[in-house]
Amino acid sequence: MKSSPLRLRIALLSTLLSGAVMLIAGFGAWWVVAQQKTEALDARIRALGTRQPGWMFQDRDFSRLEDNLEFVITVPGDAIPYFLLVADGGGQVLHQSDDWPDDVELAPLVAPLENRDDPPIGNDEADFTRGWGGGRGHGRPGRGRGPGGGQAMRFTKVPEFSSIHAGGRRWRVGRLGNDELTLVIGLSADATAAELRQLRNAGAIAFPAALLLIGLGGWVVAGRALRPLQRIAEAASRVHARGLNERVPQLGGDPEITRLVTMLNEMMDRLEAGFHQATRFSADASHELKTPLAIMRGEIEQAIARATPDSREQRTLNSLLEETQRLGGILRSLLLLSRADAGRLVTTHAVVDLTGLVRELVEDTTASAEECGVQVDCSLAEGVRVSGDESLLRTAILNLLANAIKHNESGSRVTIELTQVDGMARLAVANTAAAIPGEEREAIFDRFARGRHARDASRDGTGLGLSLAREILHAHGGTIRLLDDAGDGFVRFVATIPDAGNTAV
């Protein structure tokens, strides 16, 4: 699977991490606000239960309590929905609001409350000193514990709060009580729920916009951070066999980038030195071996002339002469390849009649093709001309033709087609050999690369022909490639060279 660009991955990762942090922070903030809103409702229910002592008379005037609650929670122009219930210690309902929702179950609300472990005494919600009686007469409300007598009341049970859905509304219900009475107050939580929904909706709208901004910011920041690496890549792309002197300029700034550039330049120094050394060795070795090979060939030829015709000695000398000639061909190929590596392969340019050159080479190879039982079919466009070194082009084309004939079977065919299309000379050489396997197609133009069939001892070859042909064509601004199997039983190599009209002579 193709990997995504580093810049995109950085932007996506920053967006995902920021989004996760925002989600956690947003949910946490929403939960804190919801808790605060709920606690505010609970505090209001406590205040309503503990700061309205007037109903705690001996006559149990519960309607007065409800009137007081309605008065307290009503704001100008609006009344907050509520419900009220009072039950005795045994769970018997003493008072119930007229607007009591039908779908509210009574049993859980009038159930006994838990006792406090340490009942507080003071002026908090449990303190109910303004209870029955009072200082202004018996059985009448008063302030404090006056001479009229009275009895202090306080909620001694642990208050309970819960949220319910009833009557199409959300309610926050609080239960306050002591051993004698249980007071249940429910306040509508619709306003609180609406505020929380607004907060959630605002977050849902802001979250994608924030993610988009974070993603764009991550993309910009990643681009700025990776800009030095892009410059390094551009400089490194200019380094090749003919441009090993290229170096990555120091970009300054970050010490990490400076260190990377320094290491790359040092590596290029070592590569350049090693490449030049190998090129010089190949060229020098090829050049130095030419003289001893020429002497050996001359001595062998003289020995053949002195040997008895058709004797064993002469046959042996003929075999040695063929091997020295083959070795000479290898040396010539290596010398040309070393010049190609150094960028000095093509030294002369002239207009070459490619049609005539290919026709001449086809005629020269026809005899060897007939010996192998291979039929050669030729189709050449007239007047195709290119600019380059004729001897090198001859070598490249001859290697292609020899390769097609050599790697073929008796009774097979070789087709040669020369055309001129869109300012390019196109030479296609095909033979009816077996298709080249995929694992060999990648390395077929490598030096000394030989296919599985080419390793047969009966097939002569060094594995340098196609490699040398590619270097020669590249030096002339052309290409060579192995076409995919067209299903017609042919293996095709196609070489292209700019024609003389598109090449400066």
In whole angstroms, what is the distance from residue 394 CA to residue 469 CA?
10
Please choose, from the candidates 257, 270, 110, 245, the residue with its C-alpha nearest in 3D space to the C-alpha of residue 176: 110
Q: Where are the alpha helices (DSSP H) in 347-493?
A: 354-371, 390-406, 438-441, 465-475
Q: What is the pLDDT of residue 134?
A: 36
The answer for 253, left when phi > 0, alpha when psi is -120 to 50, beta otherwise, is: left
In whole angstroms, what is the distance from residue 166 CA to residue 190 CA?
11
In the chain, the amino acid numbered 220 is V
In whole angstroms, what is the distance from residue 125 CA to residue 119 CA?
11
- Give Dmax (Cα) for the chain: 161
DSSP per position, 239-275: -STT-TT--PPP--S-HHHHHHHHHHHHHHHHHHHHH
Q: What is the pLDDT of residue 282?
A: 64
Q: CA–CA distance from 118 to each of 45, 114, 123 (Å)?
A: 22, 12, 15
Identify the helix (H) or strand (E) that includes residue 171: strand 169-177
Please choose, from the candidates 412, 319, 335, 334, the residue with its C-alpha nearest in 3D space to the C-alpha of residue 373: 412
Please choose, from the candidates 438, 415, 437, the residue with its C-alpha nearest in 3D space to the C-alpha of residue 492: 415
In the chain, the amino acid numbered 202 is A
Q: What is the pLDDT of residue 140?
A: 37
- Three-class DSSP labels, 278-319: HHHHHHHHHHHHHHHHHHHHHHHHHHHHHCCCCCHHHHHHHH
Q: Rounded to 5 degrees, what are φ and ψ at 445?
A: -95, 5
Q: What is the pLDDT of residue 33?
A: 93
- Enter the DSSP assignment of 454: G
Q: Where are the alpha helices (DSSP H) in 407-459?
A: 438-441
pLDDT digit string (tens) for the chain, length 505 residues: 455 688 888 888 989 999 999 999 999 999 999 999 999 999 988 888 876 554 554 446 677 777 777 777 765 556 678 888 988 888 888 888 888 888 888 888 888 888 876 555 444 444 433 333 333 333 333 333 333 344 445 778 899 999 999 888 899 999 998 888 888 999 989 988 999 999 999 988 999 999 999 989 888 888 888 887 777 777 777 776 556 677 777 766 677 778 888 888 888 888 777 776 666 666 666 667 777 888 888 888 888 888 888 888 888 888 888 888 878 777 777 777 777 766 666 667 889 999 999 999 988 888 888 888 888 888 999 999 999 888 889 888 988 888 888 888 777 888 999 999 888 999 999 888 777 776 677 678 777 766 555 445 444 556 778 888 888 888 888 999 888 776 677 888 999 999 876 554 4
> Domains in the chain, start-ordered, CATH in brackets?
6-115+156-196 (3.40.1840.10), 255-341 (1.10.287.130), 350-502 (3.30.565.10)
In whole angstroms, what is the distance from residue 202 CA to residue 197 CA?
8
In whole angstroms, what is the distance from residue 181 CA to residue 154 CA?
10
Identify the sign of the CA torsion 390, 394, 397, 399. negative
Identify the helix (H) or strand (E) that includes residue 67: helix 62-73
* Angle, CA 446 vertex, CA 440 and CA 450 arms, to 5°: 55
Task: Tell how strand 93-96 and strand 350-353 pair up.
Answer: unpaired
**Beta bridge pairs of residue 75:** 78
Q: What's this model's pTM, rounded to 2 decimal places?
A: 0.49
Q: What is the pLDDT of residue 444?
A: 81
Q: What is the pLDDT of residue 16?
A: 92
Q: CA–CA distance from 184 to each of 130, 174, 178, 188 (Å)?
A: 19, 6, 12, 13
Q: What is the pLDDT of residue 252?
A: 65
- Which residue has tokens 């192995």? 482
* Cβ proximity of 401 and 429 under 8 Å: yes
- Which residue has tokens 């309205």? 52
In the chain, the amino acid numbered 340 is A
* Cβ proximity of 377 and 413 under 8 Å: yes
CB atoms within 10 A of CB 95: 17
**Beta bridge pairs of residue 95:** 86
Please choose, from the candidates 294, 321, 336, the residue with its C-alpha nearest in 3D space to the C-alpha of residue 475: 336
- Which two tokens mark 79? 């009344």
In whole angstroms, what is the distance from residue 363 CA to residue 432 CA?
20
- Which two tokens mark 393? 């082009």
3-state secondary structure of 343: coil
